Amino acid sequence: MLVKTKVNGEWRTADVWPGASLLYMLREHLGLPGSKNACEQGECGSCSVWLDGELVCSCLVLAAQAHEREVRTVEALATAEGLHPVQEAFVEAGAVQCGFCTPGLIVAVTDLLARDPHPSESSVREHLSGNVCRCTGYVKILDAVRLAADRMGESRA
């Protein structure tokens, strides 16, 4: 079946199996491997993207459900000017080890800071509770969120 979706600002069409996930369409049909496939069961958040502005696990969404809708992926965050502040903060805080969880976390943190520029520690933990990291122990990830919030707050001031 043909699925037409606006992905990172550009209308794209893919000819997918009716049971294909949005994650599979992004990675295998549209050449966007940033969203990771770690569990394919909605448990780890590595595949997080925005669908019409809402954070979803793209492994749990059918590609067909994205027809005529708008998807934004981690690939949309960096620009020609450089990395997104959340990406920079993850690098600076040392919040990346194997990196497999990182795109999903970057998307989730960006989503959180867009809704709540100065989240409490408990809001951060709650918002990231669906993102599993096997490497870092989360301390550096929480450092990165604080750093990104401070930097983005400064640039808004």
d(CA 156, CA 6): 29
Q: Does position 143 bind ligand FES by CB under 6 A? A: no
Report the DSSP beta bridge partners of residue 70.
6
Q: Is 37 in the site for ligand FES (CB under 6 A)?
A: yes
> Which token pair is 126?
């709650």
Burial (0-12, 13-18, 19+ Cβ within 10 Å), 73: buried
Please state the closest distance from residue 33 (CB atom) to ligand FES, in A: 13
Rounded Cα distance between 145 and 124, Å, is 8
**What is d(CA 21, CA 26) in angstroms, rounded to the nearest whole number?**
9
> Exactly one of 46, 73, 87, 110 binds ligand FES (CB under 6 A); which one?
46
- Quick one: 47 or 112, whose CB is closer to ligand FES? 47
142 near ligand FES, judged by CB under 6 A: no
* Shorter beta-carbon distance to ligand FES: residue 71 or 79: 71
User: What would the two tokens of residue 76 be?
Assistant: 């949309």
Nearest CB to ligand FES, comparing residues 9 and 28 = 28
Contacting ligand FES (CB under 6 A), which of 12, 29, 42, 83? 42
Sketch the per residue contact string, 120 through 139, with ligand FES: x for CB under 6 A, - otherwise: -------------xxxx---
Q: Which of 127, 130, 8 is nearest to 66 (CA)?
A: 8
Binding residues for ligand FES, rule: CB under 6 A, are 37-40, 42-47, 57, 59, 96-101, 133-136
